[in-house]
Chains A and B, each alone.
Chain A
Amino acid sequence: MSDDKSRDFEVVNRSVPRRDGRAKVSGRALYVSDVKLAGMAYAKVLRSPYAHATIVSMDTSRAEAHPGVYNVLRGDDLEGLNPYFGHAVKDHPLVAIDKVRYAGEPVAAVIAEDELTAYEALELIHVEYEELPAVMEPQESLAADAPLLHQRQFEAGALRGFEGEVTAGRGTNLCQEHHIKWGDVDEAFANAAAVAEGEYYFPMAYAYAMEPYVAIAEVGDDGVTIYSSAQHPFMVRHDLKTIFDMPVSQIRLIVPFVGGGYGSKSYTKIEPLASACAWKARRPVKLQLSVEEAMLTTRGDDALTWMRTAVDADGKIIARQAKIYMNTGAYAENSPLVCEKSSNRCVGPYAIPNVQIDNHMVYTNTVPASSFRGFGCAQVTMAGESQIDELAAKIGMDPYEFRLHNAARPKQEFFPGMRPFDGTLTEDLKIVAENIGWKEPLPSGHGRSIGCSASDAGAYPLTSTAVRVHADGSASLMIGSTELGQGSHTVLPQIAAEELGIPFDLVRVVSSDTAITPYDRSTGASRTTTLMGRAVQEASQEAKEQMVRMAADVLGVEESEIESVRGGITCGEARLNWSEVLTRYYKLPDGEVIGRAYIRKDKDFAQLPVFWEAASTGIEVSVDEETGKVTMEKLGTCGDVGLAINPALAEGQDIGAATTGMGIGMFEELEFDRNQLLNGNLLEYRLPRFSDMPRTVKLELVQNRDGVGPYGAKGGGEASLNSLPANIANAVYAATGARIRRAPLTPEKVWRAIRETRAARGENES
């Protein structure tokens, strides 16, 4: 679709206040945790104390006899259901069957008249386990004599989101592997002017959606209805269709406001367990997890990356090679796709002629890992952007100049076969460098760094919508995307209001009910503004085309005589707004027209990725050499967003992402003490707080309208996270000379590294 770039916008590209503002500041915004249904029971989950064990026997009779308990759900009593789910690999039982694969895995659920009774009854269940040897780390898990987590062979799920097979279930603990190769890395490294090489670690991180997972399920004659905090209700529907062997029309997912997602609510989580409880108890059941249980449900994939990068005598990057071991924990979830994406994201944002990436996603007896903001890119950018600074230091080049020299250029096909680069990284880098005062002198103990990233984003393009224009001139959008806080309930009506030429306040969003709203594959990978935004734009245009035909009909003229103008049509002297067109057409001041749009992998979206998500980030830190404490003093971000439909919301995404990146870079990490999660609560898992924020923050957006979304928009909201952990490592190096290759850079790690660096230089302890 061609857009007139000189057109003046009336509603888009403006920071209109959030549509959900009043509901969210007044406590009236509805989340699933606030929902109660008539006759509703409550489920609580008994979890495995062992990381790997066979379930020898289970006695639930005392729990079942406990007053107020309706039923106990257990893995050996699921006849009539297909109990395994997983959109990529169907390896995940909705409750443990025969064995447990991580400490914290659900082994039974009590369904009772209230939560307290359900809790009490958990203690009355007796389970006898036979402990098996556990494997906690990928390389240990790939050893020839390692205990096998999954004995069955799996077929790749139809909705796995990538081409090719899955590796899971072929007699080893390898869940997935992915390999990329072009050019000849061996020759390039042999002829390099300089090479940087190292091993880097990105930690297990917890997304901390403030609202823990929650689902309310009801199984009745008309199918399964679930209120859920899911990001992708249509994907969950597909898993439940298989579990219950029902047509999709019988599975209804309803998602009201979601209290944070950040990828952690992508795909199916507790909906199978909640709906199995409702099926067993024959009444609606609410399953509300605690934060501590959420930490035992999903985490981000940790990654150990060996990488080397080479430059020629002119400072051009000529080769990169990486071997990556990632840890998906006990189940595949979305990690096979994380494996592919993290491999792809080792390359950008640079144009490199010789590349070889070998990536292994491995099962271990830890909490299952899946999508988390940044999605593979953050993991490998810790390695990639650290290494860029190390290489710049080796050849005596300013790391900022080195990036400018090598960054992918606009329209360059830097990844063979993928969409040519649709961003302007050199512009982004320059803005950030300016905003953090790159060339200015620094106080002692301070260091600066700049970084960038580019991710193949947008996931798979399959999105549809309906725009209903009513006879009073107002409109309703039927939106399958979920409002996680990113602002889709504001951005999408801005687009419809712009296209229909009606006031923003007249557009209402009806969202995220699979029985009502048209199909949208997912809300993730920064895709909603681009894909659903484009669908809303096209559906609004289609509604207008229909109203032009209606106007021709009521005026008794040819369609060609009608001119579509803002908010209505003209024909000679006659001018009708949409309300007048519909009212005259239907001969009543009521009724509607429905505009539709179907986005698929075709035309503008034929080539993946849907867009490159690019950004630059820069920071200044101070380091207390006596304690190792790192303080972020300045933060600059520049999101390469094509066009910001709502600039304040787009900037909000960038700083939110950067703050999580700061957390992972400085203190966030799930730690295991042998087989048990050591810090599985918010007292011990350290999150960014008010006092951690830099006093100087500069957020900018580059808007070159170079995306395929509406008016040239692209997505944002992850890229500012991706480069932040490396930013911190690089800035600490600049401040202290200590190179730390494992995130997070906790005070202890920094303190030790400073001492080791001094010792290596032969300096005395001062």
Chain B
Amino acid sequence: MELRFELNGRDVAVECEPQQTLSEVLRNRLNLTGAKISCEVQVCGACTVLVDGLPVSSCTYLAYEAQGRTVTTIEGLEDRDRTLHPIQQCFIDEFAFQCGFCTPGMILSVKALLDDNPDPTDDEIIHHMDGNLCRCTGYVSILKAIRKAAAVMKEGRE
């Protein structure tokens, strides 16, 4: 079947099988390998991408469900002039990753949160992020990065 959707701001059309997952299409057909595959059962969050702004587990989300929708992957977060998104920059500033395997999914989950709730409390952050696992950092530096990104993005709007 032919699959058409908007990917990181431009229209794409690819052939895909009905049983293929969005991550398979992104990683194998479109060579966007930022979304990582780990648990394959929607527990870890490493494969998170945004569909119409909402986080989904691309390891189990069927590709055809993205038909006509807007998909954002980690590769789509930088500006055209390669300036990092504030969430990306804050993750660097706060040492919010080590091996980096969870990071693309983690950052996209944060984006979905802050786009919806620009000024979250710690409880709201923790509740929202509980489906993204990280084995390296112990989460504390990620929490700091999220708080800082919220402040930076708020400042950017004012």
Contact = CB atoms under 8 A, between A and B. Distances in A.
B40 A652 contact: no
A688 B136 CA distance: 11
A260 B40 contact: no
B126 interface: yes
A693 B130 CA distance: 11
B139 interface: yes
A656 B138 contact: yes
A652 B137 contact: yes
Nearest to B38: A210
B94 to A, nearest CB: 9
Q: Is the contact region of chain B dominated by helix, strand, or loop, or is it mixed? A: loop
Contact of A18 (B37, B46, B92, B142): B92
Interface stretch (A47-55, A442-450, A481-489, A498-506): A481-489
B107 interface: yes
Interface string A690-706: 11010101000000000
Interface stretch (B50-58, B73-81, B150-158): B73-81
Contacts of B126: 690-691, 693
Interface string B128-145: 011011111111111100
A655 B140 contact: yes
A24 B103 contact: yes
A25 interface: yes
Nearest to B108: A27
A652 B89 CA distance: 18
A675 B41 CA distance: 24
Interface stretch (A28-36, A61-69, A154-162): A28-36
Contact of B132 (A486, A688, A690): A690
Interface string B34-68: 11111111011010000000000000000000000
Given A24-B97, A31-B36, A683-B41, A659 B92 contact: no
Interface string B70-106: 0001110110000010001101110101111111100
A27 B101 contact: no
B74 A210 contact: no
Interface string B8-52: 000000000000000000010000111111111101101000000
Contact of B107 (A22, A25, A29): A25
Nearest to B84: A25
B74 to A, nearest CB: 4
Nearest to B95: A648
A489 to B, nearest CB: 11
A212 B88 contact: no
Interface in A643-690: 648-649, 652, 655-656, 658-660, 681-683, 687-690
Contact of B135 (A18, A22, A210, A487): A210
A213 to B, nearest CB: 12
A196 interface: no
B36 A659 contact: no
B39 A18 contact: no
Nearest to A490: B95
Given A259-B99, A682-B44, A291 B77 contact: no
Contacts of B103: 24-25
A255 B116 CA distance: 39
B127 A290 contact: no
A691 B33 CA distance: 29
A208 interface: yes
Contacts of A687: 133, 135
A207 B104 CA distance: 21
Nearest to B128: A690
A688 B73 CA distance: 26
Interface residues on A, range: 35 or more
B102 A656 contact: no
Contact of B100 (A15, A24, A208): A24
A18 B104 contact: no
B43 A485 contact: no
B92 A682 contact: no
Contacts of B101: 31, 210-211, 259-260
Contacts of B84: 22, 25-26
A450 to B, nearest CB: 19
A20 interface: yes
Interface in A208-242: 208-212
Contacts of B77: 26
A27 B33 contact: yes
Contacts of B99: 209-211, 257-261, 484-485
A667 B140 CA distance: 20
Nearest to B44: A682
Contacts of A681: 39, 41
B91 A25 contact: yes
A660 B135 contact: yes
A247 interface: no
B15 to A, nearest CB: 14
A210 B36 contact: yes
B138 A655 contact: yes
Contacts of A486: 98
Nearest to A487: B98
Contacts of B140: 655, 693, 697
B44 to A, nearest CB: 6
B138 A689 contact: no
Given A259-B100, A656-B98, A683-B43, A212 B73 contact: no
Contacts of B36: 31, 33, 210-211, 259
Contacts of B44: 210, 682
B135 A25 contact: no
Given A26-B88, A691-B127, A649 B75 contact: no
B129 A690 contact: yes
Given A210-B99, A259-B99, A260-B136, A26 B34 contact: yes
A693 B139 contact: yes
Given A17-B95, A24-B100, 10 more contacts: A27-B74, A27-B104, A208-B135, A210-B134, A212-B38, A259-B100, A485-B100, A648-B95, A659-B139, A682-B38
11 contacts: A18-B95, A25-B107, A28-B75, A29-B100, A210-B133, A211-B101, A652-B98, A655-B141, A656-B138, A659-B139, A690-B130
Interface of A: 15, 17-18, 20-29, 31, 33-34, 207-212, 257-262, 290-292, 484-487, 648-649, 652, 655-656, 658-660, 681-683, 687-691, 693, 695, 697
> Which 9 pairs from chain A and chain B are nearest by CB?
A27-B34, A485-B99, A485-B98, A24-B100, A259-B101, A27-B74, A659-B138, A655-B138, A21-B92
